[in-house]
Amino acid sequence: MNSNALFSASFYLKVIFAVSLLVLIFISALTYKHSVSLADSTEWVMHTYKTNIQLDQLFSYLKDAETGQRGFIITRDSLFLEPYYTARQNVNNSFIHLKELIASDQQQEHLDTLYELINARFEQLEVSLAILNTIPVNTSLLKTSMYIGKDFMDRIRVHVAKMNALEMSFLEQRQSKYEQKNSITPLFSMLLLLFALSMFIFSYWKINKDLIILKQTNEQLRIHSESMAHAEEIGAFSSWNWNLKTNQLAFSDNQYRLLGSPPQSFEPNFKNFIQFVHPQDQPIVSEGFEHARSTNTYPTADFRVIRLDGAVRHFKTLSRLVPDKFGTNILIGINMDITDQFLNNEALKARNHELEQKNKELASFNHVASHDLQEPLRIVQTYISRLTGKEIEMMTEKGKDYIGRIKVSINRMRILIDALLLFSRTNRIESVFEISDLNLLLENAKQDLAQSIEQKKATITSVQLPKLNVIPFQIQQLFTNLIGNSIKYRKPDEPLVIRINCEKLTGADQHALKLGGKGKYYKISVEDNGIGFEQHYADHIFNLFQRLHHYDEYEGTGIGLAICKKIVENHSGLITAEGRPGQGASFFIYLPA
């Protein structure tokens, strides 16, 4: 798992935690509300019972008053009036209590009616008492008053019963409302709780899983860093990183080893490092350091260090700026011990210098061949031409024969020197490569040989050739030499046919021919129906001055094909030959596309 996935995992965990927390808070709030409404409901039940009890008490006080009055009527003893007056007071108290208790408008109205009824009842009781106090007592009037009193009492009883019933109905209403409101709460809370629980379980599982991945990642990291350390030791390089903001530098263990010092044996800073740098190269390193401070890039630098054991080693520093997650610029770099490469390079340079020297010698040989050798030859030729002018008349036949033979030899020598010159010229390095149309170069070569081709009635067929990056005059020379070769070694009794073909080489063929490089190659073949040669001479014929025939059979210098080989080698190509004695020869040129 990469760090990004781990990062998103921790993000998910945070979300899960937050959701669970919210759910728990919600459950707490719900439970609180639920218990509050439960208390509320209990209070209302209490209230109803209190009201009803108060009403019953009120009625019972009334009855007390009535009973007291009745006792007075029978006994005329004022002792019985005592409970009557107490009851009256009690009724009033009870009434005030009820007024406080009753909240609903409907019940309040009922209470008002009850008040009026009770008042009327007490007035009637007063009326009855007043009748009793008149002497003689008007019994019929008392009777009537008592009846009216009873009637009031009945009405009050009914009314109280009504109020009781109403209060009970209120209670029922509230009870059902409460039940309605709170019936789903426990289930809901339970579900939420289960949800939160499952969330916690999931989080636990996830954290566990991430921990395992973290452990694995840590293990991988450990292996990576170990293999990195080994790689540094094997490859003789070290790594460092430099926080440009805090100016903190860290060296890998191998940095110390490369300096011949035990790992982490000194504090990794610039001052300590530069003490190891060769005094002559210290400016290079400190300039690089200053450069990095001002431009955030450390230039690639080569410098020498002196190890603790005194050995001088060549170092190369490469680096790259890598800003971290928080945008801090961190330079990450490596120091390589390139001493071996450096020494090899020095040896190569020396050898190169030697080669250049040799090349110069060759060039002066070229000059010697072109001038100093040609000069005496020319003088000899000129004198011979003088001899063959007037002087020839005075010579014997034998003398004339000798002169003729000298002339032939001198001519061959001239041809040889010219060919040698041509060969050495193909060695020149300063020749310029350019994209050239090989068809055009072939056409030019045919033009060069037009006279011979015409004379020998040779037929040359060719396919479309590609455009390649070549040294034009050399490739033209190559065609000229190969066609010239075919013309020279034609069969005397058969018309000469030269076929030039071209194809792109397959990867397998290219591999078989050991043609390196990444690019493709073209295979150009020049085939003839001439006298051919024995296949075992196929390599031999490309060597300088190597010939398969005597001068009296075929003229030649043994340089033409050597030049061909040189030219193809100049183009990083390959030339091979196939001979079939009496049937013909094929030359194959492989040139990079």
Q: What is the DSSP letter of 534?
A: -
User: Taking the alpha carbons of 296, 300, 304, 307 in that order, is the dihedral positive or negative?
Assistant: positive
Q: What are phi and psi of 432, to 5 degrees?
A: -100, 130
First to last CA, the chain: 46
Cβ distance to another protein smaller for residue 208 or 382: 382
List beta partners, residue 524: 502, 589
Q: Is the CB of residue 334 less than 8 Å from the CB of residue 324?
A: no
Cβ distance to another protein smaller for residue 249 or 380: 380
Q: What's the min distance (Å) between Cβ of 405 and another protein?
A: 17
Q: What is the DSSP letter of 280?
A: G
Cβ distance to another protein smaller for residue 236 or 387: 387
Cβ distance to another protein smaller for residue 320 or 378: 378
Distance CA(82)–CA(97), nearest Å, equals 23
DSSP states of 352-393: HHHHHHHHHHHHHHHHIIIIITHHHHHHHHHHHHHHTTTGGG
Q: What's the min distance (Å) between Cβ of 286 and another protein?
A: 50
Per CB under 8 A, residues contacting another protein are: 370-371, 374-375, 377-379, 381-383, 385-386, 389, 414
Q: CB neighbours (10 Å) of residue 511? A: 11
Q: Is the CB of residue 521 less than 8 Å from the CB of residue 510?
A: yes
Q: What's the min distance (Å) between Cβ of 574 and another protein?
A: 30
Cβ distance to another protein smaller for residue 275 or 382: 382
Residue 473: closest CA among 560, 572, 567: 567
Q: What's the min distance (Å) between Cβ of 355 and another protein?
A: 23
Cβ distance to another protein smaller for residue 231 or 362: 362
Q: What's the min distance (Å) between Cβ of 383 and another protein?
A: 8
Q: What's the min distance (Å) between Cβ of 367 and another protein?
A: 8
Q: What's the min distance (Å) between Cβ of 368 and another protein?
A: 11
Cβ distance to another protein smaller for residue 174 or 414: 414
DSSP states of 77-98: -GGGHHHHHHHHHHHHHHHHHH
